[in-house]
Amino acid sequence: MTVAKISAKGWVVIPAGLRKKYNLHSGRRVALVDYGGVLAIVPAMTDPVEESAGILKGGPSLVEALLVERDQERGRER
């Protein structure tokens, strides 16, 4: 168990080992959850859409490829 001290401003320092373990970096949001006598600090839920923005790089369009293939098939049928 780790014990932390609350500053006059209400700040609590989370030890580096725990910050690293839970990927808590400067600017990361956390949620304070009151479990009726127990206060928990947990990483805040993030927006999955915002988190995944940009991970899929643009590639060849499957729709375009399908349209080209259909045009070629129509040309062979004539």
Task: Tell me, yes or no, whether 69 lies in a domain.
Answer: no
Task: Tell me, yes or no, whether 72 lies in a domain.
Answer: no
Q: What's the pTM value of the predicted model, to 2 decimals?
A: 0.51
What is the rounded CA–CA span in Å between residue 45 and residue 31? 8
The closest of 39, 43, 51, 52 to 4, measured between CA atoms, is 39
Task: Tell me, yes or no, whether 78 lies in a domain.
Answer: no
% of the chain with per-residue pLDDT over 70: 99
Count of structural domains within the chain: 1
Task: Tell me, yes or no, whether 25 lies in a domain.
Answer: yes
Task: Tell me, yes or no, whether 17 lies in a domain.
Answer: yes
Per-residue pLDDT, averaged over 9-25, amounts to 93
Task: Tell me, yes or no, whether 12 lies in a domain.
Answer: yes
C-alpha triplet 58, 60, 65: angle, nearest 5°: 150
Domain span at residue 19? Answer: 1-48
Residue 62, pLDDT > 80, answer yes
| The pLDDT of residue 48 | 74
Task: Tell me, yes or no, whether 20 lies in a domain.
Answer: yes
Residues whose CB falls within 8 Å of the CB of residue 76, separated by 6 or more in sequence, listed in order:
none
With residues binned 3-state (H G I as helix, E B as strand, rest as coil), the percentages for the chain, rounded to 5, are: 35, 15, 50
The CATH number that applies at residue 35 is 2.10.260.10
pLDDT tens for each residue of 21-46: 988 999 888 999 999 999 999 888 87
* CB of 43 closer than 8 Å to CB of 22: yes
